[in-house]
Structure 1
Amino acid sequence: MHVVLLGQYPPHIGGVSSHTYLLSQELKKRGDEVYVLTYPHPNVKDLDGVKVETSFAPNIKGLRGLFFLISSMFKLISMVRHYNIDIIHAHFLLPPGLIGVVVGKIMGKKTVVTAHGSDLLIQADKPILRPLIKFVLNNTDYVLVVNNTLKDMALELGVNPEKVHVTVNAIDTVKFNPQNKDFPSDIQLSQNKPIILFVGNLVFQKGVKYLLEAKKLMKYDAELVIVGDGPLRHELEKKADEEEIGDVLFVGARRDVDKIMPCVDLFVLPSVSEGFPITILEALASGLPVVATNAGGVKEVMDESVGLMVEPSKPDELARAMDKILEDRELREVMSTAARKHSIKYVKLDIPY
């Protein structure tokens, strides 16, 4: 079978990109030919036997998605014809899902859409986008969601239950493992303090402002490393500086997270909304205890054996949970062992087509 994946893919960084890469490799293992159409990036190239192409989309705020929508439809039609594509699999409902469904109808091809989180949690609540999302969901052949919360939301929008499948994210446990210790030399940290790690986009949904407030409330002396970039970075850096929240280091988006994770002591995800967080899987595979908020699919990927869950937007609860794990070395070691074991459950993706 010839499959084209549409949406984020390496060298883009993020959870969706990690997911689509692992999916492409699973498809290849079962004998499929895999092609990718992704957003523009200066370092786009074919990767591990997968043909990767891009379409035109200038990096202009508010217009990138529109240009990608239009140019990708023409590009995808060309790829379907040239590579004799059987299935179009779009990741994220808008714009990739809309592109995939429209082209699928034009070309008479089966389509699959995967909802990863904010497309149903946030976009579907916007009156101008809700009709488009319902159109995508009701006109595709398969609707894949990464947790049961998203499944319920899709069903509320009137999707046929028979075509909705929960397919949780997976993790490369060879790449992410406790022995993979090679902390980047360009990140300068204190040598005698435990390290707390956050990895993710610096957007409102990730709740990083609550993490900074929790850091200020903590009793245990630790260093916080924030890996990621996004529209709120300047505001968050300013908050840390003006409120004199010490030992906080912003290091931007990085491609060596697998080298960083095994070298730290605790992973924190303070999201206010979430899909099925790949970063938690990566942290667990790296042997890290986790403190996370009970948002979206978080409760489906972790339990009290591997970390602590608190309510979203509650910096005091977040601070107490981080203190509890960092103060208790024995608890940390038990959770670390359990984390690695727990992650092994997520080594393979379920592909329902």
Structure 2
Amino acid sequence: MIPRIVPEGALVYVWPSLAPKALSILRDRGCRIAVEVINFHTQAEKRIIEEEMDREGLTYSHYVTPEKIASQEIFLNDADIVFSSNALARQSLVDYGCDAEKIVLTRYASQCTIPPIPKPLRGNQDGPLEFLFVGRVNLEKGVHHLLRGWKQAGEPGTLHLYGILDSAFANAFADFLNLPSVKLHGYSDAIDEAYKKADAFLFLSLAEGGPQVTVEAAEHGLPMVTSVNGGGRIAVDGKTALVVDPTDVDSTAHAIRRISDDADLRARLGNAARDFSREFTWEQAARERFGAMTRQRGSV
């Protein structure tokens, strides 16, 4: 199929899910390759997960296999352009041997339907707040750090966890997941509704590229507590979010309490995040990629 539809010498945009054999065919036809890397280098992901497992005294298999690492290496070696969505993810690629000259920083947007006007943020007099997390409920997303911070903060409302729950994580952190203030919802196709009902967003991921969930939360005007990785390019400490070290439970708990106790802070962060989210559109993301590919085409 590929030889019939791709002209020789074309500049081709691919995702890492493309079969290595197909990539080889493109190279044999003299094509130049632009590849999307949506997260950290897989070896960096593996290191982060295994460091967390060691810290927590856990041992179980995870998704970063030797085969996945080897496949990514093929793509990075063959690529003429590598798209990466934040500085930390970019650095992880460089640390594991990717040519820095290939890497182009860009952005992602979201899949949510953005409300035409922001919802009024509830005041503290309106009852307990609704806090939201969206993503896989596992070590890499830092949910164990979030749960510890949540408990130390005094469980100031209800924490809703939306996403697939890893079974090994569920067994290891059952005491936290079974707190009365923590609600597990699993995967949802109607995640817009969760954002609309939430008062704040919590996301302490340990390895991210361009976390769409953080952009979605910002678009819905939610004040955020994030890690540096979980915040991506949209979480600016003190302006659009409170950015914490996820391994520092005191810092996390303090940030959650600040968000919970201060309605004015929630309003300021949420409004600023919504305003900033206008720069994270798929149109802008496409322009950045198209510009990089056009420059690459013109360089040969």
What amino acid is the match of 1:214?
G
In the aligned structure 2, how far is the partner of 1:151 from the partner of 1:100?
25
1:112-127 → structure 2 map (5 Å cutoff): 112-120=34-42, 121-123=44-46
Match of 1:328 in 2: 262
Structure 2 counterpart of 1:215, from 150, 154, 179: 150
* Aligned residue number for residue 151 of structure 1: 90
Change (3 A) 1:144 1:320: same
SS of the residue aligned with 2:114? Answer: coil
Listed one character per residue, the Cα deviations across residues 74-98 of structure 1 (whole Å, up to 9, x for unaligned) are xxxx2x2454475543334xx5474
Q: CA 1:171–1:281 in 2, change beyond 3 Å: closer, same or farther?
A: same
User: In the superposition, relative to structure 1, how do residues 236 and 288 fare at CA in structure 2: closer, same or farther (>3 Å)?
Assistant: farther
Q: Determine if contact 1:180/1:259 at 8 Å carries over to the other structure.
A: no
Cα drift, residue 220 of structure 1:
5.6
CA contact (8 A) 1:111 1:142 kept: yes
Extract unaligned runs of 5+ from structure 1.
1-77, 182-190
Query: Does structure 2 retain, via aligned residues, the 8 Å contact 1:178–1:285?
Result: no
* 1:104 to 2:26 alignment: yes
1:120-269 equivalent positions in 2, closer than 5 A: 120=42, 121-123=44-46, 128=66, 132-171=71-110, 175-177=113-115, 179=117, 192-219=127-154, 221-232=156-167, 234-235=170-171, 238-240=174-176, 245-269=179-203
What's the Cα RMSD here?
3.0
What percentage of aligned pairs have identical amino acids?
22
Supply the distance in 2 between the matched residues of 1:158 and 1:119 (Cα, whole angstroms). Answer: 10
Give the partner amino acid of 2:39.
Answer: G
Aligned-pair distance for 1:228? 0.3
Deviation per CA, 1:209-249: give whole Å up to 9, x if none.
Answer: 222222221236300100000424643773335xx522211
Relative to 1, partners in 2 of residues 1:155 and 1:207: Cα closer, same or farther, differing over 3 Å? closer
* Cα deviation, residue 140, structure 1: 1.6
Q: Distance in 2 between matches of 1:176 and 1:102?
A: 40
Under a length normalisation based on structure 1, what TM-score does the superposition of the two structures give?
0.65
Q: 1:206 Cα deviation (Å)? A: 0.2
Residue 292 (structure 1) shift: 0.6
Partner residue of 1:314 out of 239, 242, 248:
248
Q: 1:103 to 1:222 in 2, by over 3 A?
A: farther
**Any conservation in 1 of the 2:3–2:25 contact (CA below 8 Å)?**
no
Structure with the bigger RCO (C-alpha within 8 Å, sep 6+) is 2
Equivalent pair of 2:130/2:198 in contact (CA under 8 Å): yes
In 1: Cα distance, 2:41 partner to 2:109 partner? 20
Give the Cα separation in 1 of the matches to 2:198 and 2:255. 17
After TM superposition, give the deviation of residue 180 of structure 1 in Å: 7.9
In 2: Cα distance, 1:340 partner to 1:329 partner: 16
The residue matched to 1:205 in structure 2 has which SS? coil
Task: Give me the whole-angstrom Cα distance separating, in 1, the residues matched to 2:116 and 2:211.
Answer: 19
Q: Deviations over 1:109-139 (max 9, x none)?
A: 3322111114443258989465553332121
1:258 offset after TM fit, Å? 1.9
Pick from 228, 234, 244 the counterpart of residue 301 of structure 1: 234
1:106 Cα shift?
4.2
Q: Report SS of the residue matched to 2:159.
A: strand
Post-superposition offset of 1:208: 0.9
**Which residue type is aligned with residue 248 of structure 2?**
K
Alpha-carbon distance between aligned partners in 1 of 2:182 and 2:65, rounded to the nearest angstrom: 38
2:233 aligns to what SS in structure 1? helix
Name the amino acid aligned to 2:244.
V
